[in-house]
Amino acid sequence: MNLKQRFQHDLREALRTQDQTRVNVIRMLLAAFEQTQEMMGKQAFELSNGADILPDRHQMLDEQAVQAIILNEVQRRRESLDLLVTGGQHGHAEMEKAEIAILERYLAG
């Protein structure tokens, strides 16, 4: 099972079990993957100087790129968590902690 299939499978499972936090995290990851793939395709197109090549929006992300995206999302949530705790918004902070836990499971493998 490739990475995209794994996340799509996990999304279906989260939808089936009605785990809304997990659904949101996986959808966010899939969107981040797609955005990165599109950016990679545009960069490849720009490097080719437009030599009759169309931008490839379906560039495949390798394991290292996926891990980097997930690490970036964990870092963003940790920064947000710090701000929420400082601001006294403990309910939102708990949601950030739950999302970090889900993301860290993907980093672990």
Cα 84 to Cα 93: distance, rounded to the nearest angstrom: 6
Under a CB-based contact definition with an 8 Å cutoff, are residues 4 and 58 in contact? no
CATH of 3-108, one of 1.20.120.80, 3.30.420.40, 1.10.1510.10, 3.10.100.10: 1.10.1510.10
Cα 63 to Cα 68: distance, rounded to the nearest angstrom: 9
Tokens of 30: 């899939």
Tokens of 86: 């400082």
Domain ranges of the chain: 3-108
Q: What is the pLDDT of residue 37?
A: 83
In this structure, the number of other CB atoms found within 10 A of the CB of residue 31 comes to: 10
pLDDT tens, the chain, 109 aa long: 577 788 899 999 999 999 999 999 999 999 998 888 888 777 766 766 655 555 555 557 788 888 999 999 999 999 999 999 999 898 899 999 999 999 999 988 6
DSSP state of 51: S
